Amino acid sequence: MTHKFLTLNTASADDPLNFWKRVIQNQSFLLHIATKLLPTLPYQENRLLISQLKILKSLTTDLESALSNPAVQNITNSFQAMYHNVDNTIDKLTSLILIDNREKAAALTEYQLIPFLQEWLEDTYFWTLIYPDKEKMKEYYETEFAENHKNTYSNRGEKYLISIMIPVYNKLEYTKRCLDSLFRNTDLAKYPCELILLNDGSTDGTEEYFESLGITKVINLKENVKTMIFSLLYRVCEGKYAAFVNNDTILTEHWLDNLLTCLQFNPNAIMSVPSTPNTSNRQGMLAELTPENAEAKAKAHNRPCPYLWEERCRLMPVIALYDVDKVNTIGFADRYFHTMEFWDDDFSLRARRAGFHQILCLDTWCYHYGSISGKDDQIKYRTLLMEDCCSRQNMGLIPGKIIIVMIPTSYLTLSLPFHSNLRKYPHLSLIQASEPMFCSLKHSLEEWRKKVHSHSLSMTLI
């Protein structure tokens, strides 16, 4: 991880950023200790391990003063949440050492404590030293973002071919249905797979349910951290491919085989996604799928067929399979989209700009209930509207523009701002407000410019 904006300003002792730079240096020291602790867990004496954990606890407690810093009120709630998540993990780790459960202590250190500290450090660095300075943000995204969000397992793919990641925030009944369908319809013996479960501060018995499954990689957050969950999951993947699965889905027969076949057949594809109902971006199917008939209908349909692989500019990853090596070159989820809205649009844009393909596999049907976990926040906090403004700013888009995206397959994507009155633009009658639409490129770029300008709008190429 590189942090070029971390140097203290010694010329000005009163520089308010120096406070946060010292906080980040302390977080970096915590990460260093935790990383050195991991390989010693199998053989180190208990008293020495407890001594190291006391140091970790003391250093973490020293950072408590930052919780009352006024600057914390101007950023996301992730600093406070991660302070409590790290502190709680150290307490759990101490309890495991006291009962001499070295195996579980090692798993907790590698898959929870170390990723927690990595994300806490990066989050503090971004929100206090980078954002909202436009020049720093530009340099950060060009030189540090992908590097600091890499999956760093050097032996990735040797132990597992596929890592299956499932994040959960309450809604235990949906989680159980999802995992039941996973075990029914995934041939875990065919491919070396690992399952990674993340509990994002649930209060409905999810933690206890995960504990009962006996799965090694279970990440438990005491407090909800929203978008950070994607990076926490991604950091601990040991597979060559990473499958992301929302817990409000039903997986069907051959879902994983088909998505993997698509990625392996398309060497430049970064992700493949199945067709699911109750999903925006026209990723559904004509057939009427319900929770009751989804598996039966998909069983008859799910056969690999390249003619049904559709390249898209943008994909909603309700369920998705990623090529980890390719994701490493552009970074996974961007914490800028901290409410979890539009992070996937941002990923799609970065993937396109890097020249990667994103494939909708219409030969594969799965079921999606539709925003079961996120709907409450969308209504209560208006997260869709708030992040729409953020996404436009971060991507360099200005409300009121028509955005035209040129792609190699001779399509263009046109999108209008929310609540646009489309009747004013008869030549764009196929477009729906807030929903990108694919239109055949029947006119030259200059002809489109004339059409757009004649309606007093502007056009931006991405």
Phi/psi of residue 171, each to 5°? 60, 50
Distance CA 391, CA 402 (A): 15
Give the pLDDT of residue 429. Answer: 31
Give the pLDDT of residue 189. Answer: 81
Q: Are residues 196 and 291 in the same domain?
A: yes
Q: Are residues 74 and 124 in the same domain?
A: yes
Distance CA 183, CA 173 (A): 16
Give the pLDDT of residue 411. Answer: 36
Give the pLDDT of residue 414. Answer: 39
Q: Are residues 207 and 85 in the same domain?
A: no
Q: Are residues 48 and 102 in the same domain?
A: yes
Give the pLDDT of residue 441. Answer: 39
Question: Considering 148, 182, 205, which residue would you say is the last residue of a domain?
Answer: 148
SS3 string, 223-242, reads CCCCCHHHHHHHHCCCEEEE
Summary mean pLDDT of the chain = 85
**pLDDT confidence band for 393 (50 / 70 / 90):** low
Residue 253 has pLDDT above 50, yes or no: yes
For β-strands 459-461 and 402-406, DSSP reports them as parallel
Over residues 250-277, the mean pLDDT reads 98
Helix H or strand E segment including 368: strand 367-368
Choice among 12-26, 81-95, 349-363 with the minimum mean pLDDT: 12-26
Residue 7 included in any domain: no
Residue 284 has pLDDT above 80, yes or no: yes
Residue 449 has pLDDT above 60, yes or no: no
**pLDDT confidence band for 419 (50 / 70 / 90):** very low
Q: Are residues 43 and 131 in the same domain?
A: yes
CATH of the domain at 349: 3.90.550.10
**pLDDT confidence band for 72 (50 / 70 / 90):** confident
Q: Are residues 189 and 331 in the same domain?
A: yes
Give the pLDDT of residue 431. Answer: 34
Helix H or strand E segment including 199: strand 193-200
Choice among 167-171, 338-342, 344-348 with the minimum mean pLDDT: 338-342
- Could you tell me the CA-to-CA distances from 450 to 136, 344, 427, 455 in Å, in that order? 36, 32, 12, 9
- pLDDT tens for 154-206 read 999 999 999 999 999 999 999 999 999 999 999 988 889 999 999 999 999 99
Give the pLDDT of residue 160. Answer: 96
- pLDDT tens for 198-223 read 999 999 999 999 999 999 999 999 99
Please identify which residue in the block is written with the tokens 């070029």: 4
What residue numbers bound the domain in which 358 lies?
Answer: 160-380
Residue (of 145, 125, 170, 104) closest to 31 by Cα position: 125
By the 8 A CB rule, do 231 and 162 touch?
A: no
The number of domains in the chain is 3
Residue (of 228, 233, 150) closest to 198 by Cα position: 233
Q: Are residues 101 and 212 in the same domain?
A: no
**pLDDT confidence band for 377 (50 / 70 / 90):** low
Q: Are residues 304 and 231 in the same domain?
A: yes
CA atoms within 13 A on the CB side of 448: 20
Residue 6 included in any domain: no
Q: Which residue has the higher pLDDT, 418 or 299?
A: 299
Give the pLDDT of residue 188. Answer: 83
What is the percent of the chain with per-residue pLDDT over 70, rounded to a whole number? 79
Give the pLDDT of residue 179. Answer: 98
Phi/psi of residue 205, each to 5°? 95, 5
Residue 391 included in any domain: no
Q: Are residues 402 and 362 in the same domain?
A: no
What tokens were used for 161?
């071919």
Rg of the chain's alpha carbons, rounded to an integer? 23
- Cβ contacts of 50 within 8 Å, gap of 6 or more: 94, 97, 98
Residue 144 has pLDDT above 60, yes or no: yes
pTM (2 d.p.): 0.84
Question: Considering 349, 380, 411, which residue would you say is the last residue of a domain?
Answer: 380
Residue 78 included in any domain: yes
Length of the chain: 462
Give the pLDDT of residue 7. Answer: 87
Q: Which residue has the higher pLDDT, 311 or 422?
A: 311
Q: Which residue has the higher pLDDT, 351 or 456?
A: 351
Q: Are residues 175 and 39 in the same domain?
A: no
Q: Which residue has the higher pLDDT, 122 or 412?
A: 122
Residue 387 included in any domain: no
Residue 319 has pLDDT above 50, yes or no: yes
Question: Considering 125, 148, 171, which residue would you say is the last residue of a domain?
Answer: 148
Residue 228 included in any domain: yes
CATH of the domain at 89: 1.20.120
Helix H or strand E segment including 96: helix 78-98
Give the pLDDT of residue 8. Answer: 78
* 3-class DSSP assignment, residue 359: strand
CB atoms inside a 10 Å sphere around CB 161: 16
Please identify which residue in the block is written with the tokens 């990923």: 347
Residue 5 included in any domain: no
By the 8 A CB rule, do 195 and 83 touch?
A: no
Given its phi and psi angles, is residue 170 left (phi above 0), alpha (psi -120 to 50 degrees) or beta? Answer: left
Q: Are residues 137 and 217 in the same domain?
A: no
Give the pLDDT of residue 109. Answer: 98
Residue 53 included in any domain: yes
Give the pLDDT of residue 374. Answer: 57
- Axis-axis angle for helices 172-185, 294-301 (nearest 10): 30
Q: Are residues 27 and 81 in the same domain?
A: yes
